[in-house]
């Protein structure tokens, strides 16, 4: 069964509850979550004038094809009330497919691995927690190596509920 790695992110509403509900929804619709990183507080990337995100990476064993998985991820976002108003804008939930087995795919609405993964610390830090030795096609580098070489200077900190 294929293994996919997803990144969950939220910066509106009850972020922790949203991420927990997303995992339950993905488990019901997309496969079995076999690993999950801790939660990380991260500055917004791309459009920085917005609330901080909570991000979490999950490993998913799935029988879905990549396009079916994309549909399941989008349905999970909709379940959480996601509205696509502004590119990189604030959102209740974002679910991105980072990796899908060793597949490299380039379709108009789906690129695997995620095309911005090597330059986004907020995705690499939680992913490295659960998949440091996983290879990134087509670069052939491990997730840990991508993180070492990541040019993104934005902070990614373990989430502290008392501090937020």
Catalytic residues: 82, 91, 94, 96
- Name the helix (H) or strand (E) containing 84: none
**Helix 66-79 to helix 15-29 angle, to the nearest 10 degrees?**
140
- Distance of alpha carbon 123 from alpha carbon 156, whole angstroms: 9
Nearest to 36 by CA among 50, 46, 22: 22
CA 1 – CA 64 distance, rounded (Å)? 9
Alpha-carbon 10 to chain mean position: 10
- Work out the number of other CB atoms within 10 angstroms of the CB of residue 85: 8
Of 157, 156, 127, 159, the closest CA to residue 144 belongs to 127
- Chain-centroid distance, C-alpha 97: 6
């Amino acid at each position: 069964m294929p293994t996919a790695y997803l990144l969950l992110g939220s910066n509106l509403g009850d972020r922790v509850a949203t991420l927990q509900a997303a995992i339950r929804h993905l488990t019901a619709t997309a496969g079995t979550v076999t690993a999950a990183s801790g939660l990380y507080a991260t500055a917004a990337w791309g459009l920085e004038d917005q609330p901080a995100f909570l991000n979490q990476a999950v490993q998913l064993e799935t029988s879905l094809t990549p396009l079916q998985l994309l549909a399941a991820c989008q349905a999970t976002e909709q379940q959480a009330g996601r509205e696509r108003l502004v590119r990189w804008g604030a959102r209740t939930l974002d679910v991105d497919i980072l990796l899908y087995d060793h597949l490299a795919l380039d379709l108009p609405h789906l690129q695997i691995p995620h095309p911005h993964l090597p330059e986004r610390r907020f995705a690499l830090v939680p992913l490295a927690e659960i998949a440091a030795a996983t290879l990134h096609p087509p670069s052939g580098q491990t997730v840990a190596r991508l993180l070492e070489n990541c040019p993104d200077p934005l902070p990614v900190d373990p989430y502290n509920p008392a501090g937020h």
